[in-house]
Structure 1
Amino acid sequence: MTDLDAGPAHRSAREVLNWSRAGVTPALRAAVDRLPDSMRTIAGYHFGWWDEGGRPTGADAGKAIRPALVLLGTQAVGGTADEALPAAVAVELVHNFSLLHDDVMDGDRTRRHRATAWTVYGVNPAILAGDALLTLALDELAGSGHPAAQQSIRVLSTAVQELLEGQRADLSFEERSDVRLAECVRMAEGKTGALLGASCALGALFGGGRPEQVGHLRSFGERMGLAFQFADDLLGIWGDPAVTGKPVYSDLQNRKKSLPVVAALTSGTSAARELDALYHSGRELAVADLERAAELIELSGARAWSQDQADDLLERAQGHLRAAEAVARAERELDAVARLATRRDR
């Protein structure tokens, strides 16, 4: 096994993510190799390890933010990253379980600059592959032999329940014209914040952290996660497809009730009324409609408000990180990852 704790003393956020991906990928691939061949094929394609014909490829495998939070969370309380490897693999499996399902439910045809798994293998096989990743995640924790394994399973299971409830709420918003901003924030807390918070908590548990350290690191991850969602929703409207891997205005095309959209719709402005008419017109939105919808969100003040919320949440996350009394290097790197994750141009 690679010594995950080796490396330069001062690393940027991108260097930390590269370190996390390089350290976790071999264990992640070994875990996926335990799946039945049919599930393994779809999972490997989704992770970018091979093409639809099983030929190795260098496709984008994602940023590995959640595994990085696990490894850094362990180091933050004085543990070593190597001992937290099963937990890091588990959270990456859960994250990708959710992505496989999200792509089906949202009808997204592109992820990480190539066709989504369900468009290649079919809806039902993609759903089953997602299910397989979820069960594999729990198996990783159960088989780790770590003293914190049982508690970690409960932490991860709770986060998954919150994630699923967040996704349920997100789907329900598509059918409603009366979504309130507060319930949209609660949806994002579950759909995104819960797993990032659990990632930090699992790291602290595997590192033998004190209960108050586990709590503060979990809160750091949850607030970072909500800030991440605000930033991600901005990217879903104004992001560069070369960065996001999705078409421009993809969230607007899908009429997603994302945080900036709901903030705009509930702003009480003339822009809100025009946006509401566009969103609920019942017809396919042309490029000009999408451009106008983005403009209306900005005119309503929702774009600026969303960025302000992301900045405020990042500051609150940093407060919890300081309160955790973390090892200095891990604290710096957790802060760097949080800053990168909440940038609009990441």
Structure 2
Amino acid sequence: MVAAHVVGPSAIQPRSAGVVLAQSRDAVIPALRAAVDTLPATMRHVAGYHFGWWDEHGRPVDADPGKALRPALVLLSAAAVGGAGQAVTGAVAVELVHNFSLLHDDVMDGDATRRHRPTAWSVFGTSVAILAGDALLTLAMDTLLASGHPAATRATGMLGAAVQRLIDGQSADLDFERRADVDVEACLAMAQAKTGALLGSACAIGALLGGGRPAQVLRLAQFGEDLGLAFQFADDLLGIWGDPATTGKPVHSDLRSRKKSLPVVAALTSGTPAGLELAAFYTGAGALPEPRVGRAATLVEAAGARMWSQAQADQLLVRALDALAAAEADPLVEAELCELARFATRRDR
């Protein structure tokens, strides 16, 4: 476990996770908007709606912009190795890739709400939302390559490899919907690819663009990978028990769609009476009947899967912080990364 950062009375205090996220978002948004402005008009319109910059008619709105965790990780990882200010383009590219995946995920999962407003596909149609996601992915690679940074080509290769893993994880997630034999190991591998790959890449790209040593890039990548899996555990818990007023999604949304998330798979394979009853709920097709949704949440918890999932997230956080400590980062930035990691695994949205 990483040691607490000790500061004297006159030293600069580390920023809280909320401040880090807000300031990182402020640093990235101008460059992100400038990149999106280069898209063809139709794709720019859909992307801007998805980002919360305007409504479906193009009128400016003040919508929930999202956490912007991934760009914050890029910027902090660069600062951690002494390269603060060198990775804004990398942060933009990673955020574009993340939102490419969100646009596609919403279509594949049939989610009608994201960040307290209708999803892009439910407003503009599935085909247009998919194309907008494709446009963001292409823009991410073009933006990073055109940055002129000496490490831009290598960073783009890292991001491309992360996208391939992300797609593989998403493919496995979809495959799980048709299978009755999904075990915890397979579900962990899926989550590591679907979520861990991009968070690991965000940290590695930040460290690379910040001029970090190879060992630092490697350690920060491991920090991001472990944090990513812990983040997915937290996300899956919110998908069942999150407050709709905070998450922007209906309560029990993952259960309603019979999604085989980490807590659900842990419950299904637990061998408990609750797990066996839950398995009967998951044998059908289509949305889970409403009267059974609340019962399914009770069964997941009764099988011990809610407690197990939180314990796994906590263990992964410890492992992530160990990797961060081994990176020999700037102490102040290390403390801020610690705060951000704890926030990501104990959040309410």
Same fold (TM > 0.5): yes
Q: Does residue 320 of structure 1 match 2:327?
A: no
| C-alpha separation in 1, matches of 2:274 and 2:240 | 16
Q: Are the counterparts in 1 of residues 184 and 265 from structure 2 also a CA contact under 8 Å? A: yes
Letter in 1 for 2:54: W
Q: Does residue 73 of structure 1 match 2:77?
A: yes
Instruction: Kindly provide the CA deviation profile for residues 296-319 of structure 1, in whole angstroms up to 9, marking residues without a partner as x.
Output: 000100110000000000000000
Letter in 2 for 1:310: A
Deviation of 1:281 after TM superposition, in Å, equals: 3.0
| C-alpha separation in 2, matches of 1:326 and 1:48 | 34
| C-alpha separation in 2, matches of 1:217 and 1:177 | 36
| C-alpha separation in 2, matches of 1:53 and 1:9 | 44
Instruction: Indicate the residue corresponding to 2:48 in structure 1.
Output: 44
Letter in 2 for 1:292: R
Query: Matched residue of 1:275: which SS?
Result: helix
Mapping of 1:56-205 within 5 angstroms? 56-80=60-84, 82-205=85-208
Instruction: Indicate the residue corresponding to 2:337 in structure 1.
Output: 334
Instruction: Indicate the residue corresponding to 1:4 in structure 2.
Output: none
Query: Matched residue of 1:247: which SS?
Result: coil
Query: Matched residue of 2:86: which SS?
Result: helix
Letter in 1 for 2:254: D
Deviation of 1:282 after TM superposition, in Å, equals: 3.5
Deviation of 1:287 after TM superposition, in Å, equals: 3.1
Letter in 1 for 2:245: A
Q: Are the counterparts in 1 of residues 258 and 287 from structure 2 also a CA contact under 8 Å? A: no
| C-alpha separation in 2, matches of 1:164 and 1:284 | 24
Question: Structure 1 stretches of 5 or more lacking a match?
Answer: 1-7
Aligned residue among 230, 253, 256 for 2:256:
253
Instruction: Kindly provide the CA deviation profile for residues 80-135 of structure 1, in whole angstroms up to 9, marking residues without a partner as x.
Output: 1x221100000000000000000000000000000000010011010000000000
Deviation of 1:288 after TM superposition, in Å, equals: 2.6
Instruction: Indicate the residue corresponding to 2:8 in structure 1.
Output: none
Instruction: Indicate the residue corresponding to 2:4 in structure 1.
Output: none
| C-alpha separation in 2, matches of 1:156 and 1:40 | 22
TM-score, normalising length from structure 2? 0.95
Residues 1:41 and 1:161: Cα distance change in structure 2 (over 3 Å): same
Residues 1:206 and 1:283: Cα distance change in structure 2 (over 3 Å): closer
Deviation of 1:36 after TM superposition, in Å, equals: 0.1
Q: Are the counterparts in 2 of residues 70 and 84 from structure 1 also a CA contact under 8 Å? A: yes
Q: Are the counterparts in 2 of residues 77 and 213 from structure 1 also a CA contact under 8 Å? A: yes
Letter in 2 for 1:51: D
| C-alpha separation in 2, matches of 1:150 and 1:59 | 34
| C-alpha separation in 1, matches of 2:229 and 2:241 | 18
Letter in 2 for 1:335: C
Q: Does residue 230 of structure 1 match 2:233?
A: yes
Q: Does residue 21 of structure 1 match 2:28?
A: no
Query: Aligned pair count?
Result: 338
Q: Does residue 53 of structure 1 match 2:57?
A: yes
Instruction: Indicate the residue corresponding to 1:215 in structure 2.
Output: 218
Q: Are the counterparts in 2 of residues 318 and 335 from structure 1 also a CA contact under 8 Å? A: yes
| C-alpha separation in 1, matches of 2:280 and 2:339 | 41
Q: Are the counterparts in 1 of residues 257 and 288 from structure 2 also a CA contact under 8 Å? A: no
| C-alpha separation in 2, matches of 1:44 and 1:145 | 26
Deviation of 1:344 after TM superposition, in Å, equals: 4.5
Q: Are the counterparts in 2 of residues 79 and 207 from structure 1 also a CA contact under 8 Å? A: yes
| C-alpha separation in 1, matches of 2:38 and 2:273 | 56
Aligned residue among 267, 277, 280 for 1:277:
280
Query: Matched residue of 2:313: which SS?
Result: helix
Question: Structure 2 stretches of 5 or more lacking a match?
Answer: 1-11
Q: Are the counterparts in 2 of residues 234 and 344 from structure 1 also a CA contact under 8 Å? A: no
Letter in 2 for 1:50: W
Query: Matched residue of 2:87: which SS?
Result: helix
Q: Does residue 306 of structure 1 match 2:306?
A: no
Instruction: Indicate the residue corresponding to 2:5 in structure 1.
Output: none
TM-score, normalising length from structure 1? 0.96
Deviation of 1:272 after TM superposition, in Å, equals: 1.0
Instruction: Kindly provide the CA deviation profile for residues 211-258 of structure 1, in whole angstroms up to 9, marking residues without a partner as x.
Output: 000000000000000000001000000000111110000000111000
| C-alpha separation in 2, matches of 1:23 and 1:335 | 20
| C-alpha separation in 1, matches of 2:204 and 2:133 | 23
Residues 1:284 and 1:96: Cα distance change in structure 2 (over 3 Å): closer
Query: Matched residue of 2:192: which SS?
Result: helix
